[in-house]
Each structure stands twice: as structure tokens, then as C-alpha cells.
Amino acid sequence: MDNEQESTKMEEAYQHMLERMYEHMTGEGAPLEKAIDLAREDTVRSKGITPDEADKIAGYLLRDLQDLGDHLHQDKEKKDLRDWLLMDTTLIEAAIRDLLFSVADKTDVELMDLAEHHWRPTLLHTGEVTAPGVLACTFCGEELHFDRIARIPPCPHCNNTEFKRLRGARSRATE
């Protein structure tokens, strides 16, 4: 499998896991972490990935959900997903945008609770899969805008492999 196919497989698996997690939470009322476990098993079965790959993807998903939960918690007045994505949401692939809005809307209490207990600043790395939004290179500050679920490339400017998610500050600064 070449690198591009590998990336597509990982990106699809992330999206599938997020969809299934949401269904387990809203359908059977599974608690968030249980819903991720169930979604991980579903994804191994239906997307042909190994349990090791599924563990990694579940880790990326949990990282992004904790970050989203922390954002919702910090920004309790507005609880605005658009501030977390930090980009024009009309540019984001419709299916994933709608899914993220549903997750943020219907599971916000669980996400905030998760973040309150587990969130810490987390760096993202080349080769990992990320939710849409804006990541900044920790070395040169180059911003990478992702309009879909994507596997993170090396920094196109300096080839660094470490990024942090940008959120909120810009829209708040312009208010």
C-alpha cells in the first residue's frame, strides 16, 4: 500500500470512528469513552484496519474531542464550534462539518466533562490524523488549514513534524 492509500485509509477510519461514536452515544446512550471503545471495534470490523491502527486512530480522536471539550468549557457562553475550527466552516467538507456540529451540540456536556478531567496541551505530529481546523508549526509558525479529516504532512515551510492546534483567540481578538 503506498503512502497516499495509507493516508486515505486512516482518514476514512477516523471519520467512521467519529460517526459510530456519535451513534453509540445518541442511540444507546453510551458514555463517551465507552462509545469510543465500541466505535473502535466497529471500525476494525468494517474498515479493515488492524487493532493497532484502530488504537492509534482512537487516540487521535480522543485527543481532538478533549480539545474540543476544553474549548466548549472555556467558551461556555457561546460554546461555538466555529471558534474551535477557526476557519470558514462553509469551506469544510459538508459531511464532516455536519457531524462535528452534531457532536458538539448533542454531546457537549460529556465532552466538557472529559476535558475537565483529562485535557492538557497536546502537540500533534506528522503522520497523525486530525479533525478539520488550523494547526501551526511549533518551529516556524506556518499555519496549515484542514478543510476535512486529514493526515498531517511535514511543515511545508521548514519540514518540522510538530504542530499545535490554533483555536478561538483570533475570533475573540477581533470582537
Query: Which residues sit at the interface with Zn ion, rule CB under 5 A?
Result: 137, 139-140, 142, 155, 157-158, 160
Least distance in angstroms from the C-beta of 138 to Zn ion: 8
Output the CA torsion sign for 75, 61, 150, 136: positive
**DSSP class of 28:** S
Least distance in angstroms from the C-beta of 139 to Zn ion: 5
Could you give phi then psi for residue 124, rounded to 5 degrees? -110, 155
Nearer to Zn ion, 103 or 135 (CB): 135
Query: Which are the contacts of 169, defined by CB distance < 8 A and separation ≥ 6?
Result: none
Q: For the chain, what's the residue count?
A: 175
Cβ atoms 142, 156 nearer than 8 A? yes
Least distance in angstroms from the C-beta of 140 to Zn ion: 3
Least distance in angstroms from the C-beta of 152 to Zn ion: 12
For 135-158, give one letter per residue: b (16+ CB within 10 A) or e.
bbbeeeeeebbbbbbbbbeebeee
Nearer to Zn ion, 107 or 161 (CB): 161
Nearer to Zn ion, 88 or 143 (CB): 143
Least distance in angstroms from the C-beta of 144 to Zn ion: 9
Q: Find how far residue 58's CA is from the centre of its chain.
A: 10
Cβ atoms 30, 38 nearer than 8 A? yes
Nearer to Zn ion, 89 or 126 (CB): 126
